[in-house]
Amino acid sequence: ENSMPLSRYHHASALVYNHDPFSGSQTATHGLMFVVGGVTKKGVVNDTWCLNLSSLVWKQYKSSVLPPVAGHTLTVRRGSSVLLIGGYSPENGFNHHLLEFNPQSGNWTIAPHTGTPPT
């Protein structure tokens, strides 16, 4: 069964890909597109989906670390992980954690950081 994410808004997405730096092309070979959180017909969600851009197959990752979140950003960190910053959910309020997703392990962790979080 090939499942796929529900329609949503206020989600975030990020593209992680490897390419041949000598080919002159930035084409997403072996590319992965991640879609995280947002608002669906079920409300604010905490799901993580990955679309393999070669096979066009979706995969869902489950996590107890990722809170339901909408209005956040995703940033690719050195092509090896994805950072989630900000966001909000009615149940939890504003997200003050810096969360990091490792595409190799499929796990979210709370990333260490210092300083005062933005207000």
Distance in angstroms (rounded) separating the CA atoms of residues 13 and 35? 4
Beta bridge partners of 45: 38
Residue 119 included in any domain: no
At 80 the pLDDT is: 80
Residue 110 clears pLDDT 70, i.e. is over it:
yes
Residue 22 included in any domain: yes
E runs forming strands in 12-90: 12-18, 29-40, 43-52, 57-61, 70-77, 81-89
Residue 1 included in any domain: no
Q: How distant, in Å, are the alpha carbons of 46, 79, 91, 108 from that of 66? A: 6, 20, 13, 7
Distance in angstroms (rounded) separating the CA atoms of residues 98 and 109? 9
Q: For 84-98, what is each residue's pLDDT tens digit? A: 999 999 999 999 899
Q: For 21-76, what is each residue's pLDDT tens digit? A: 555 555 545 789 999 999 999 999 999 999 999 899 999 999 999 999 999 999 99
Residue 5 included in any domain: no
